Amino acid sequence: MKKLLLVAPVALMFAGCGLFQKKTSDSTTSTTSEQTSSQDAAALAPTRAQAVLKASHDSKVKGIIHFTEDGNLKIETMAEGLKPGPHGFHIHEVGDCSKGDFSSAGGHFNPTQGHHGSTDSKHRHAGDLGNLMANGKGKANVTMTVEGLTLKPGPNSIIGKAVIIHKDKDDLKSQPAGNSGPRIACGVIEAVK
C-alpha cells in the first residue's frame, strides 16, 4: 500500500510535466503561426493603387492618380480641366464619390487627430497633401512623396479612401479644411494588382 501511495504522486508529477510541455509546444506553434500570418499579410499588401477622377456636376476635371509604395508613398497625379493655379489636394476619410458635390467623401483623412496644415507640419491631418498646381492649360502633372500614409492594412492605410481636388488654393492653415472651396474632382483609391 505504501508503494502505491508513493507511485501515485510520482505519476502525477510526470503527467503534469507532459501537459506543461504540450502547452509550451502549442504556445510556440501559435506564436509561429501568428508571425507567419503577419509576414504573409505584409507580402500580400498592395504596393500600387490608383484613383480615377470623376468631375463634380459643374466641373470638367478628369484624370488619374497613381500611388506607389516603396518605403514612403509616391503620388503621381495626371489631371486636366482645372483652372490654372493651385488647388487644395487631400485624401478624404470615406471612399465615396456618389454625391454630386462629393460631400459623401467626408472630411480629411485624419487618423492621428491632427489639425489642418501643410505637408511640412508634424501635426497635420494625414490626408493634407498641400496644393496641386495646374499649368496655364489647366493640366496638373505632379509627383510628390509623402510620409505617414500607406497602402498596407492599418490605421494609416489610404486604400478605400477618396482623393479630392478642390476648386481653390488651400491656405494650409484655416480649420478644418484650408478654405479651398468646393470639391471639383473625386476618386476612390483602389489597390492595383
Could you report the per-residue pLDDT of 29-74, keeping only the tens digit for each?
Answer: 444 444 444 455 455 667 899 999 999 988 999 999 999 998 889 9
Instruction: Give yes or no for a contact between 122 and 69, defined as CB atoms under 8 angstroms apart.
Output: no
Return the higher-pLDDT residue of 82 and 179.
82
Find where cell 510526470 sits.
14
Least confident of 57-66, 144-153, 182-191: 144-153
63: left (phi over 0), alpha (psi -120 to 50) or beta: left
Return the higher-pLDDT residue of 153 and 15.
153
Measured CA to CA, the distance from residue 107 to residue 104 in angstroms comes to: 9
Instruction: Give yes or no for a contact between 158 and 111, defined as CB atoms under 8 angstroms apart.
Output: no
Cell numbers at residue 182, please? 468646393
β-pairing verdict for 48-55 and 62-70: antiparallel
Structure confidence at residue 76 as a pLDDT band (50, 70, 90): very high
Residue 55 forms beta bridges with which residues? 185
Provide the whole-model pTM. 0.72
Q: What share of the chain is helix, strand, coil (3-state, %, to 5)?
A: 25, 35, 40
Cell numbers at residue 173, please? 492653415
Query: Is the four-CA dihedral 98, 101, 104, 108 of positive or negative sign?
Result: positive
Cell numbers at residue 57, please? 456636376
Cell numbers at residue 145, please? 512623396
CA angle, 136 then 89 then 144, to 5°: 80
pLDDT score for 123: 61
